[in-house]
Chains A and B, each alone.
Chain A
Amino acid sequence: MKRNTLLTIGALTVFALMLTFADATLGRFTIRILNLSAIYIILALSLNLLNGFTGLFSLGHAGFMAVGAYVSALLTMTPAQKEMNFFLQPIVPFLRTVQLPFIIAIIIAGLCAALVAVVIGVPALRLRDDYLAIATLGFAEIIRVLITNAQSLTNGAQGLKGIPKYSTTWVVWGAATIAVLFMLALVRSSYGRTMKAVRDDEIAAEAMGVNVFKVKSTSFVISSFMAGIGGALLGHMISTIDPKMFTLVLTFNILLIVVLGGNGSITGSVIAAFMVTVLMEALRFLDMPMDFLFIKTDGLPGLRMVIFSILLMIVVLYRQRGLMGNKEFSWDLVFGLFRRKHSAQKGGRS
């Protein structure tokens, strides 16, 4: 036990040092990808809480991210910037002058997303499986349409520009670390066990005294809170947001991470979030015009998404449970693996 705690602290220190080093030496583009993967970790974990740990198939993530991104952006932009953005219709009075510190704005953003989840969750969580997926997808679209049309509140289709860039390396990785620790604590607790019970067999859970509806709602609200924070961080990173950003494609990307990493594995989500974000950029050359000596192509935009779809199909066909299944990383596992290899080597030699 003690050895594992020391190792964890050691690993975190090494990670923090690496991050400091990366932040100081790497180019802006690379750092941006690094930070984007931290945000995707938060988003993937929040979807995994629903999908992997509570067994609720939700496709409404982009909607909650949009709420978070807009709330945080509107609460932190300077009055001058707001004036510049809202040239078609003036912004509503109560938002014109308000400017809050980043940390407060981002928490309010999460809370607003959670509030929307409460409103949506009450009717939608009576549904199951694919019906729930369709309902949440519909709600996310409704949110998007509302944002597009609430001109004086959100600046409609023009979106918001010049959002303060608060999402530094330390902010996003700090948030991601908190998200990981929070998820670990939650799923290992007594309440987390009831979530898994609801996922595995709802009828049995109900009969054993688990308030199924409450557990589902709690999970839905916590997940939306995290999605709201993730969306806000994303907004503060790229500094422009508009309603077209928050479509099903965004939800799909997060779902891809969750499924690739393993439904119900925190480790899996973290690894896959990093992998997918890096690959998404590394494979960008596929979208460019290519020259294969004899065959020349004029850029095929979207070709890299084909690669991801193929990857997803391979996972669904051959490794249904994703990279990690529902297992978690633990030092004991590492040592177990090491020992097995070691003894296998020994066995081979003799």
Chain B
Amino acid sequence: MIKTEAVSMRFGGLTAVSDLNVTIEKNEIVGLIGPNGAGKTTAFNTITGVYKPTEGRIIFKGIDITGIKPHRITSLGIARTFQNIRLWKDMNVLENVLVACHLRMNVGVFSSTLHLPHYLKREKKSREFAMTLLDSVGLADQAQEPSTSLPYGKQRRLEIVRALATEPSLLLLDEPAAGMNPQESMELMDFIVKIRDQYDLTILLIEHHMQVVMGVCSRMYVLDYGVTIAHGTPQQIRNDPKVIEAYLGVD
């Protein structure tokens, strides 16, 4: 599905990510873990086109997407969420999802301003799709509320729903469980598996919450100072001395 080939990202003298080789097959849920500042989010940013990698290539569904603009990458089928929630604050919950629907609506500024028939038809379809998505995470009742009035956990869910509205095939989740209590985290795990099955997704997620990663991921990559120090099944990772060293430190 997606493959990064020897991707490196340098900012001046700092190498945030070096020689990253990640391969993810269709319908897998893969974890990306590592201590703070290990370069996980930078890796996300290179995949989604926010940064152009200094070296290496990124292949998605057989297409080289290295250095393509973020919105083009999203239209190819990669969607993401953010570590620090980035909802549009002056819009309500439904509108937040509808903006993401715009990508697949394929309407221009004139047809939408003049409310031409084909625009109205697609707008109606988008609204129905957005409501279905919101309903599936229990946010349908709050569709008209400002996005910032939602509690934290629900804001995270809304961000995932918003990403789903772009109809992706690969979903990148940046710390979806951050700031959640154990109860919410458990619900989130079920939710991730559910959307994977329901929308035929492939998921790559960054997470600090070990219970969540170990619970849902079939494989994981461990980064430390930008270097991939381990990769394998949760069982292998748990017993890898290098990983333990990176996380806990060793005398």
Contacts and interface: CB of A to CB of B under 8 A. Distances in A.
Nearest to A206: B70
B145 to A, nearest CB: 16
Nearest to B81: A207
Interface stretch (B57-65, B89-97, B205-213): B89-97
Interface residues of B, number: 39
B102 A204 contact: no
Contact of B99 (A182, A186, A210): A210
B108 interface: yes
Contact of A201 (B50, B86, B114): B86
B71 A189 contact: no
A179 to B, nearest CB: 12
A208 B114 contact: no
Interface stretch (B24-32, B72-80, B187-195, B226-234): B72-80
Given A208-B162, A209-B100, A200 B88 contact: yes
A218 B107 CA distance: 14
A207 B109 contact: no
Chain A interface helix/strand/loop/mixed: helix
Interface in A265-315: none
A196 interface: yes
Interface in B84-126: 86-91, 95, 98-103, 105, 107-109, 112-115, 119, 122-123, 126
A76 to B, nearest CB: 27
Of A182, A201, A209, A212, the most chain B CB neighbours within 10 A belong to A209
B115 A185 contact: yes
Interface string A178-196: 0000100110011111101
Given A200-B88, A209-B74, A210-B71, A193 B102 contact: yes
A189 B166 contact: no
B99 A193 contact: yes
B230 to A, nearest CB: 29
A194 B165 CA distance: 14
A4 interface: no
A314 B69 CA distance: 43
B42 interface: no
A212 B54 CA distance: 24
A182 to B, nearest CB: 7
A197 B102 CA distance: 11
Contacts of B74: 206-209
B48 interface: yes
Interface string A210-250: 11100000100010000000000000000000000000000
B251 to A, nearest CB: 42
B223 interface: no
Contacts of B50: 203, 206-207
A213 to B, nearest CB: 8
A185 B69 CA distance: 29
A205 interface: yes
A196 B119 CA distance: 19
A326 interface: yes
B203 interface: no
Given A190-B105, A193-B99, A197-B99, A209 B75 contact: yes
Nearest to A221: B109
Given A190-B112, A190-B123, A191-B109, A203 B86 contact: yes
Contacts of B170: none
B82 A204 contact: yes
B163 interface: yes
Contacts of A208: 74, 79, 99-100, 103, 162-163, 165-166
Contacts of B166: 208-209
A201 B88 contact: yes
A197 B86 contact: no
A200 B70 contact: no
Contacts of B165: 208
B103 A209 contact: yes
Nearest to A325: B90
B107 A190 contact: yes
A222 B113 CA distance: 12
A109 B79 CA distance: 42
A209 B102 contact: yes
B112 A189 contact: yes
A223 B85 CA distance: 31
Interface of B: 48, 50, 69-71, 74-75, 79-80, 82, 86-91, 95, 98-103, 105, 107-109, 112-115, 119, 122-123, 126, 162-163, 165-166
What 4 pairs between A and B have smallest CB-CB spacing? A209-B103, A209-B74, A189-B112, A200-B88
23 contacts: A190-B101, A190-B102, A190-B126, A191-B102, A193-B95, A193-B98, A196-B90, A200-B90, A200-B91, A201-B87, A203-B86, A204-B88, A205-B88, A206-B74, A207-B48, A207-B70, A207-B82, A208-B166, A209-B71, A211-B69, A222-B109, A264-B90, A326-B90
